[in-house]
Homo-oligomer: A and B are copies of this chain.
Amino acid sequence: MLSLAAASLSPSDITRLMVALAVLLGVSRVLGELARRFKQPAVLGEILAGVLLGPTVLGYISPELMEWVFPSSEGEAGRIALDGFIVIATTLLLLVVGLEVDLSTVRRQGKATAFVSLMGVLLPFGLGFALAFGLPGVLGAGERGEAAPLAFAIFVGIALSITALPVIAKVLMDLNLAKSDLGMLVISSAMVNDLVGWIGFAVVLALLPSGATSGHQGSVFTTIALTLIFLLVMITIGRWMCHKALPYIQSRWSWPGGVLGFVSVVALGCAAVTEHLGIHSIFGAFIAGVALGDSPRLRERTRETIHQFVTNFFAPIFFASIGLRINFVSSFDPVSVAIVLAVAFVGKTGGCYLGAKFAGMSQKESLATAFGMTCQGAVGIILGQLAYAAGLISEELLVAVVIMALATSLFAGPAMQAVLKMKTKLRLADIVADRNILIHLDAVTVPDAIREIAQRAGEITGLSAGEIALAAIKREEVMHTGLPGGLAVPHARLKGLNKPCMVIGRSIIGVDFDSQDGEPAHLICLILTPEEDPGTQIEWLAAFARTFQDHAMLVRALSAETPTEFRAELNLADSEEQH
């Protein structure tokens, strides 16, 4: 291709393309890191980078410079090459979003997830739909949105009811709650939410009066029918084929090249199919991610590699590019922003709170779940951007959706934390006695390790060791509890248990609990709580993770030669923390 690159891209085009990418990536990374420094999601800084580089700021100061770096005339080669790169970046980003959806976890979670996700979608969707359909003048429809009020109203409903899985997962991880029961409920509800939202959005695109977006020549119903068939095939046959192929590729091909290549090819292929069907290419990439990510064969470490690969290079460029064509000052409409914010917030928290209550959760847990689910983050922004690109919504409404998504993302973490009012002064040394520590585990597999620790837990609590092990292993099958940095936190809620019990088992060689960083777990902390005590599991789990996330502490704990020495280290760590 390069052989004729001189013909299709001039040196000046290439120079500008390199400058554009360097500037987009550089500014968005710097602002992303700044956001993280203030404990905010990186996407906030990345979007801000686009605002700075686009018409809002740079275009206001020097329109010539902006035009040189980011050419805007439609036929220009530099423009086309940059647009092409961004389309590819978006496709890979949605692949990663899809990979985080784990259908089997959702299925096994059962009732609570169904309630929370259903109510969490229905209420905000209903409010948004009613508002957009009843009062279309209030929120700004785009050119093609005006011609298709039904599509417009469905879109507004979806945009207000989506939960951003990647952002909320990050929030839960920061709170050390990702592997707790509450964390898993929030995550699996958000998964269902995402899935419903994206399928709905595909229908919206099909409902639009056909125009430039439709590659496929056919009626609305043909498009919807074909999309559903594609979806069904991917979730059944496609998923089955991925499950068969993944173990082979992961074990026989080069690592991680083989798996990265395979996943990218499946995503690009599915993207081509959906683009051809007349809905957006990224829907295909998302579904490819769901089909692949669902596989228990896709190891956590593989997932993490793909994740890093995409979120550190492609995602910042995509998020920064949003601001390039939008003026956030001239298109800022306080009324739209206020309405979108209010409806999204009330609908989402209200719906999820009611759902959690119906599912039988406590007041405190229901509220924490509701606040966690409010978080819109990246997914809401991607949807808004696509709807704007398709001419469905006005620039004003896009700005309102972006602001709403950012605001809810900033809100979710602190609100959850405030509701859970986590005790930070919990002392591990007070929880565990010498006999709650197994200094040398023989086991090398997860079930064996749990059985070995459950044996001791049985002696302490007086319950049957077999039943304890069974409950913890069953929980492990839903989703492994390995944490980065050599930790694992298997847990179970047990009938007949009087008070909570923690037993820590140590393995020098390590047991593979499938943690994100691929490290085996050296400290395995089994947490047993009574069924009627929802709070302790979260607090203990967070305290354990907090204590050992300091690597020096882990090393010291691994060097201890007796349970008493181990507890002495704990004591020291606890008192250090208080200073």
A interface residue numbers (CB < 8 A to B): 1-12, 14-19, 21-22, 25-26, 29, 32-33, 36, 42, 72, 74-75, 77, 79-88, 90-91, 212-215, 253-254, 256-258, 260-262, 264-265, 268-269, 271-272, 275-276, 278, 281, 305, 308-309, 311-313, 316, 321-322, 324-326, 385-386, 388-390, 508-509, 555, 558-559
Contacts and interface: CB of A to CB of B under 8 A. Distances in A.
B268 A3 contact: no
A388 B84 contact: no
A2 B80 contact: no
Contact of A272 (B19, B212, B322): B19
A74 B4 contact: yes
Contacts of A22: 264-265, 268-269, 272
Identical chains in the assembly: 2
A1 B265 contact: no
A268 B27 CA distance: 13
Nearest to A76: B8
Given A9-B80, A87-B2, A311 B33 contact: no
Given A91-B18, A275-B18, A559-B509, A86 B312 contact: no
A268 B18 contact: yes
Contact of A25 (B3, B42, B261, B316): B261
A261 B18 contact: no
Given A25-B265, A80-B8, A81-B83, A36 B2 contact: no
A321 B88 contact: no
Q: Do most interface residues of chain A lie in helix, strand or loop, or is the interface mixed?
A: helix
A260 B312 contact: yes
A281 B82 contact: no
B312 A17 contact: no
Given A18-B269, A25-B265, A80 B80 contact: yes
B88 A21 contact: yes
A256 B308 contact: yes
A81 B508 CA distance: 52
Contacts of A14: 87, 275, 281
B389 A6 contact: yes
A172 to B, nearest CB: 17
B83 A26 contact: no
A269 B26 CA distance: 10
Contacts of A5: 83, 86-87, 389
A321 B256 contact: no
